[in-house]
A and B are shown apart, each in its own frame.
Chain A
Amino acid sequence: MNAIHPIVLHGLIYGGAIATVLLTLTAWGIWFERKFAGRMQSRLGPTLVGWVGLLQPLADAAKLLQKEDLIPDQADRTLYLASPPLTVFFTLATVAVIPFSVDVAVANLPIGVLWILALGGLMVFPVWTAGWASANKYALLGGMRAVAQGISYEIPMVLSALVPVIFAGSMDVNEIVTWQAEHHWLVLGPGLFAFVIFFVSSLAEANRIPFDIPEAESELVAGVTTEYSGMRFGLFYMAEYLHTLVASAVASALFLGGWNGLFGLADGIHWMLAKTLALFFMITWVRWSLVRFRSDQLMRLCWIYLVPMSLALVMVSALWVYYEPMLGGH
C-alpha cells in the first residue's frame, strides 16, 4: 500500500465510487426519461419489469448483451471497435474535476475548467471515427454533421465557461464553487446569460434534440450508430445519457453553485445531486417537446448568434470584475 502514492489512491477510490454512482444514475436516468416521455404522451412508459418498470435498464442491458456481434465487412476494424468505449471514456474522464461536495472530488486540478473543456473537445473524435469506420454513407454523413456541430458549439461553450472563471479568478472548479458559496450563485446575477449559452451549447455537444442532427433517425436511419448493434450500440446510448448528466453536473458546478445550499441550509452532496438532476429533467423536457433543427440553421444559431453573444459576455464580465470594487459592489 505504501508503494501507491496517496493522490493516486485517492483518485482510484473516489474515481471508482463516483464513476459507479454516475453510471448507475445514467441507467436510471434512462428509466426516468422513458417514464417522463410516456407521461407527456398520454401513455405509461415502462411498467412491466419490476415495480413501475424500475428494472427496465437491466432488461435493456441484458437484451443488448445477448445480440449478435456484427462487424461490417468493409469497416475499419480498429476504429470501429475503439469508438464506442472511447465515447464513454472521455465523458467519464470529465467528471474527475467536478466537486460533488466540499472535499469529494477525484482531483482538484488547478486547471479544472480547462480539463473539462479539453475533454469535451475530444469527445467529438470517437463519434466521427464511428461514422467513418462504419463504411456506410448514412453513418458517414452523421459523423460529418457531428464534427461540424461539435467543433462549432465548442466555441460558445468555452467562452461562456470563461465567465465563472473570470468571476472566481481561478480555473479550479472547487474554487469556483467556493466563490459562489461566499458570494452568490452566478446564475442569479451576471452569469445568467452565460448559463443559458452554456446550457444550449451543452445540448448541442451532447447531440440532444433540438440538435440531434448527427443521429437524426428519420433522416439518417440511425446516423452515426447505424451499423452498431448489441452492446456497442449500448455504449453509445449510455454515452449520450452520461454526457447529458455530466453536462448538467458541470453546469451546476460552474453556474448553480455546486454543493452550496440555498437559504443557508447545509451544504453537501445532496444539493449537487439535486441541481444536476434538475438540469437533467429540463434537458429531457426540451427533448420531448421540440423538433430538430436543420444543420444549416444549427450552424447559423451558433456562429451568428451565440458566438458574438458569448464574446460580448466575456468582455462584459471582465469589465465588471475590474470595475466592481471601485463601484463599491458586493
Chain B
Amino acid sequence: MTLASAARLGVDPHRDLTDYDPEADLMVLNMGPQHPSTHGVFRVKLYLDGETIVRAVPYVGYLHRGVEKLLEELTFVQATPIVDKNDYVSPMTNEQAINMAFEALLEVEVPRRARYMRTLFAEMSRISSHLLWLATFGIDMGGALGGGTTLFLHCFRERESILDLFELVTGARFHYNTHTIGGNRHDIPAGWAKRVHQALDLIASRVDEYLDLSTKNAIFVARTRGVGTLPAKLALELGITGPILRASGVDHDLRRDAPFHAYDEIDVKVQTEQAGDCLARAHVRIRELSESIRLSKLLVDGLPEGPICGGRPIKNPTQFKAKDGQAYVALETPRGELGTYVIGGGGNKGASPYRLKIRPPSLHALAAMPYLLVGGTISDAVVILGSLDPIMGEADR
C-alpha cells in the first residue's frame, strides 16, 4: 500500500480504533508478544474481517532494557559487551558501530589490519545473519513441524561453521567483545584463513540447496510473490534501509556509497530487485549472502600485516576521555543502516558518553507493518513480518 492509498482508505497506521464496536464485524486478534512467529517479543493487534486484516496496530517496547541510559553510566571501554546484545544475530556489526562512533569522537586512528579484520568479521556476520533469516523464514512458512524445519536445520548447520570460526578468534560463539577503541582485541590465529576458505566453500556449495528449498520452490514463491509490496517512496520516508530498501528498487548501500573501513579498497556489488514484495527481499538477501562469501574470501586473502589496535592497550576503564564533541557514524548491517549518535562529555570525568543514541534499522522496518499488513490474511502477516527481518533486541534496545 502506498501513502496515497493509505490516506484514501483512511488507514491510519499505528493508531488503535477508539470507536471499536465489538458487535460489528471486526474481530480483534492479538498476535504476540508471545507467539511462535513474531521474531522476538513483538505485538501486533490485528482487526480482522473474516480472515482479511483491516487494520494492524504494532506495539513495540517489550524488550526495552534501557541500553542508552545504561551506556551513560558505563565508560567508553565498557560499552562493547552491552551493545553486543542489541542485534544479537549479528553482534560483530553492533560492536563495530559503537567503536567506530567512539573512535570518531575520541579521534583515534584504526590501523589497516584492524580495519580489514573488522570488515571481514562484518561480512561473515552478514552471512550468518542471512542464514538465520532464511532459517526462520522457512519456519514461518512451513511450521516448526514440517518442511520449514528442514530448511531451518540446514541453514543452522552452515551457520555453526561460521560461529566456530569466530570462536577460534575470539573465544566466544556469540557476543564476542572483540572490538575495542582503536581496533580489535583478538588477533587471528595461524591457519585460520584456510579454515575460512573451507567453511565458505561449503556454504557456497550449499546455496543451491537453499534455493531449491526456497526461491525455486513453487509453494514458497506462491506464498511470497506479490505479498507485502513496499513502494520505494514509502520505504524512504520511513527511513528503511538495507535489503528491504534494495528490494524495492532503490540502489543504496552504505558499503559502496559511504565506504568505511576496508570497503574503500574492495568493490561491493550491490544487489537490487524492483518488485518490493517478500520474494524480492528473499532474492536480495540470498544474493547478498553469495556476495558476502565472495567478499569474505577477498578480505581474508588480502589481510595486511600490522598492529590490530591503534589506541592504547586497555588498563583502566576510564582511560579514554572526551570532554565534548558529537559524532554520528553509520554502517551497513544485515538489516540496514545502524547509526550511532554520541555526545561526549559525560560522567566519570568524561569517560562516559553524555548521550548515546542508537538508530536501529529494525525499528524503522517495523514501522512499515501497518501499511503492509492491511488487505492480507494472517498467513501473509507472518510471512511479511519474517521478510522484514526485525530483531527486537535492536528495535527496542
Contacts and interface: CB of A to CB of B under 8 A. Distances in A.
Contacts of B153: 41-43
A30 to B, nearest CB: 12
Contacts of A306: none
Given A37-B149, A40-B150, A289-B150, A218 B378 contact: no
Contacts of B146: 209, 212, 287-288, 290-292
Interface stretch (B76-84, B102-110, B134-142): B134-142
Contacts of A41: 149-150, 153-154
Given A42-B154, A42-B157, A288-B149, A293 B219 contact: yes
Given A288-B149, A290-B219, A293-B222, A218 B144 contact: yes
A295 interface: yes
A221 B35 contact: yes
A60 interface: no
A219 B37 contact: yes
B143 A216 contact: yes
Nearest to B28: A137
A210 B139 CA distance: 13
Contact of A291 (B154, B220, B377): B220
Nearest to A286: B147
A42 B35 CA distance: 27
A218 B150 contact: no
Nearest to A222: B36
A213 B220 CA distance: 15
Contact of A209 (B140, B143, B380, B381): B143
A320 B31 CA distance: 54
Nearest to B31: A219
B142 A209 contact: yes
Given A141-B378, A217-B36, A295 B143 contact: no
B319 interface: no
Nearest to A41: B153
Given A221-B35, A291-B223, A141 B51 contact: yes
A117 interface: no
Nearest to B147: A290
Interface residues of A, number: 29
B378 A219 contact: yes
Nearest to A293: B219
B45 to A, nearest CB: 12
A63 interface: no
A294 B150 contact: no
A212 B150 contact: no
A68 interface: no
A295 B219 contact: no
User: Quick one: which of A218, A219, A293 has the most chain B CB within 10 A?
Assistant: A218
B377 A296 contact: yes
Interface in B138-178: 138-151, 153-154, 157
Contacts of A294: 222-223, 377, 379-380
Contacts of A288: 146-147, 149-150
A137 B27 CA distance: 9
Given A40-B150, A137-B27, A213-B379, A292 B219 contact: yes
B314 interface: no
B150 A219 contact: no
Interface in B184-224: 213, 217, 219-220, 222-223
Nearest to B141: A291
B70 interface: no
A290 B35 CA distance: 22
A128 to B, nearest CB: 16
Residue in A37, A290, A291 with the greatest tally of chain B CB atoms within 10 Å: A291
B186 to A, nearest CB: 30
A217 B36 CA distance: 7
6 contacts: A41-B153, A209-B143, A210-B219, A217-B36, A291-B148, A293-B219
